[in-house]
Amino acid sequence: MRRVLRKLGENIRDARRRRRLPMAVVAERAFTSRSTLQRVEAGDVRVSIGIYAAVLQALGLLAGLGEIADIGHDSVGQALARMDLPKRIHLKRASGPGDG
């Protein structure tokens, strides 16, 4: 988990730099402090996901966060769902006028 958050922090820092935005501007747009933004860019596990989301929003990258656990990217979940599918489907007979 630490490695993944460290990589996310590096990606956020690189995105900010590519946009040529100072830390103070991104922190203000994310409604957080510059020191918290530094912790985000360091991949600090103690920073809430809400702060990470606010920083991603400030950089215009929030849409990617919603895709993380999406079923389209969840091959294990898709495989488990396929295993739960019934092997056979039986149609129920419709009740006729003489059935009662």
**Single-letter residue type at 100:** G
**The residue to which tokens 């039986």 are assigned:** 90
- Across the chain, mean pLDDT equals 91
pLDDT of residue 100: 55
d(CA 44, CA 92): 56
pLDDT band at 86 (very low <50, low <70, confident <90, very high): confident
Fold of 2-83: 434 Repressor (Amino-terminal Domain) (1.10.260)
Under the banding of pLDDT at 50, 70 and 90, the label for residue 91 is confident
Give the C-alpha separation, 37 to 4, whole Å.
17
Per residue in 3-46, pLDDT tens? 999 999 999 999 999 999 999 999 999 999 999 999 999 999 99
